[in-house]
Amino acid sequence: MRKILSSIIATTLGLWLATLFVPGVYVRLLTDSTFFGFHLTAIWQIYLLLGITLGLLKFFTQFLPFQLIINLAFIWVIDILFREFSAPLLFPFFWTTIIIWILNILLSKSILKHDD
What digits encode the pLDDT tens for the residues 18-73? 999 999 999 999 988 888 888 999 999 999 999 999 999 988 888 888 888 999 99
- Helices 90-112 and 43-60: crossing angle in degrees, nearest 10, is 80
Taking the C-alpha atoms of residue 82 and residue 50, their distance in angstroms, rounded to an integer, is 8
pLDDT at residue 49 in the model: 93
Query: Does residue 116 surpass a pLDDT of 60?
Result: no
**Confidence (pTM):** 0.88
- Domain definitions of the chain by residue range: 2-112
